[in-house]
Every structure is written in C-alpha cells, then in structure tokens.
Amino acid sequence: MQTAPLGPLGPVSRLTLGGGGIGQVWGPTSRDEAMATLKAAVDGGITVLDTAPMYGACEGFIGEVFAGRLPPGVAITTKCALGSPPPGAVEALLTASLEASLAAMRLDRVDLFFLHSNLHEDGFSYAHGDSRREEFSTALSVYRDAVVPAFERLKARGRIGGWGITGIGVPTAVLAAMDQTPRPDAVQVIANLMDSAGALRRFSEPAGPRRIAAAARARGVGVMGIRAVQAGALTSGVDRELSPNSPDRADFDRAQPYRALCNLWGEDPAYIAHRYALSLPDIDTVVLGVKNRIELAQCLAAEAAGPLDPAQMAAIDALGLAG
C-alpha cells in the first residue's frame, strides 16, 4: 500500500480503518465480523486505526483483538466530543474520555487525540440546531484557552503522541484554529466528490473542505479525509434506515447522475468514490467506514488501482455535485 506523511506519525498507509463501521454506525455487523475486519485491515497494510467512544464497541474490539499490543507500525487515534463545558472543566473531561478509551483498548497511549466537536467563533449562531450548540460545538476561545493547553499537557505526560481537530465546523473557525500556535498535528476533513458532510453540517456558510485541506497542507498539518462515500450517499444503495428528511437521504437522491455515470463505466459507485477521495491533492489518508471484510476488500482494491485518471475526475466534476 502507498504511504503519505501524516503529521507527527510520519508515513502512514493511504487508507485508515475508521471505527464507525465496525462499531455499527454504518449498518449492522456481527462481533466476529467486526473483529475479523480489524485483523484483515492490518493484514492488508493499513497502519492507522481511527476510533472514538461514540463508535459503539469499536474500542473494545481493538482491545480484544490486539490484547493491548498493537502490531508494529500501527498507530491509533481516538476522539472526544467535548461540546461547550465551562473552561475549567475541559481538561478533566478530555482526560476522562481519553482514559476510558485507553482502558477499553488496553493501551497506555494513543498517537493522536482529536477534539471531535464543531468549532465556531464566539457568538456564532448555527443555521440548524443552534439550541443544541453546546452539545456539539466548541467556541474558539475555549479551544484556545482550555482545549489546546489540556492537549499539550496530555502530550507532555506521554498519554498522547499528538492532537488534532475534526474540521467539519464553521470553516472560518477551523482555519483560525490552524493559524494559532501551537497548531493541531492533524485535521479530519470531508473528502468526497460532493464536498458534503450531509447531516453533520449545521451552518449555512460555504463548507469549502478542499480549501481547508489545502490550508492544512500549507501549514504542515496532516490531513485525514473522511466520508469518502458521504454516509452511503455515493454507494449503490444505503444499507440503513434514513428519514425521508435526512440530509444524507437528500445527498443520495442528488447523486443519482453519479451512479448513472458509474453504471456507464461498469464500476461500483463506492469503489469509484474511494478512488476519487484518494485522488484529491491534499489528503494524506482516507478514513474508511467499512463494517465487514467484503467492503474492506473493495477499498483495498481501490487503493491498489491508484488515482482516477484526469478524464474520469473531470467527468465526475462535470456532474456539478460538489458544493
């Protein structure tokens, strides 16, 4: 498998196994299949496992499969969905989340620890769900004055190798966070042909994930591409229940011309979507949402096939689905 440098981790595999699929966020899978998929990912050359407490049993599966001893060269990440607690409570909450993840995975440290909250400027109001802002979002002042110092202390204690942010918040706030010192070591950015975060997007401003990825690259921040198939919208069929009003359902409907193009090429939409994400210029590694070995094998094949050729990229972009 090809590699690319990802911040302090150095060269990592171009594919990362995300924990959402094996944790049943993206449809049902069995315990045995989830653990077999973990093993197969590492055997297939994947060197980063991206986990989170909110990904169901994924951290516990990692603890069972590897018994506290990750294979040589395999890195682990986890996250904390902090929200907006009082600044004085931030460090304790981050630390408690990290310690619970470490206990579940039977590890002493993780390589990257992500703030898994939307970032917003102080005083910002969201277009959707603003009444729940404190549950899913963190103000820049709290990030600067409480989150970053807490991350740096966890790093100094050897509990984390580095830290990052999930870059799906308000774009101006994400860019501002990457301009502050110290900068995050990595950022997770939407990387799909629709530039869509689907149901995760709560603001009305242009999302601009490619601009965020380019800015991260220019600042030496590692970039993990997420949502390559946009929650199933870029597959042949969504394999979980979605509300008719779900933004992910709307994206699936809007992506019909893309599925028609893939059918013309005789290719599976998910396979092409992963190759598209891997073809984007500023993405170091693409995080997979696979839940079984069949889906994993398709992604491994997509990586092995290499980037799409310029004519294919142009044909997809000509559909006008981005933005």
pLDDT tens per residue across span 225-261: 999 999 999 999 887 777 888 899 999 999 999 999 9
Residues in the chain: 323
Answer whether residue 284 is part of any domain.
Answer: yes
Cβ atoms of 118 and 170 within 8 Å: the answer is yes
- pLDDT for position 149: 98
Handedness of CA 158, 153, 151, 86 (dihedral sign): positive
pLDDT class of 29 with cuts at 50, 70, 90? confident
The predicted pLDDT at position 15 comes to 98
pLDDT, mean of residues 23-28: 80
40 belongs to a structural domain = yes
Domain membership flag for residue 304: yes
The model's pLDDT over 264-279, given as tens digits with 9 standing for 90+, comes to: 999 999 999 999 999 9
Domain count, the chain: 1
> Are residues 78 and 51 in contact, defined by beta-carbon separation less than 8 angstroms?
yes
Whether 96 is covered by a domain: the verdict is: yes
Cis peptide before 182 (omega within 30 of 0): yes
Residue 322 placed within a domain: no
Q: Does residue 108 form part of some domain?
A: yes
Any domain includes 78: yes
CATH number for 110: 3.20.20.100
Residue 233 near residue 252 (C-beta atoms within 8 A)? yes
10 Å CB burial of residue 244 (0-12, 13-18, 19+) is exposed
Full domain range(s) for residue 236:
3-317
Angle subtended at Cα 31 by Cα 26 and Cα 33, rounded to the nearest 5 degrees: 75
- What letter would DSSP give residue 160? B
Banded model confidence at residue 23, pLDDT cuts 50, 70, 90:
confident
Query: What is the percentage of the chain residues whose pLDDT exceeds 70?
Result: 100
How many CB atoms are located within 10 Å of the residue 76 CB? 23
Alpha carbon of residue 282 to chain centroid? 14
Please state the pTM of the whole predicted model.
0.96
CA distances from 111 to 75, 108, 125 (A): 6, 10, 33
Tokens at 44, concatenated: 């297939």
- Whether residue 203 is contained in a domain is answered as yes
CA distance readout (Å), 188 to 36, 95, 218, 287: 26, 21, 15, 9
Average pLDDT of 123-136? 92
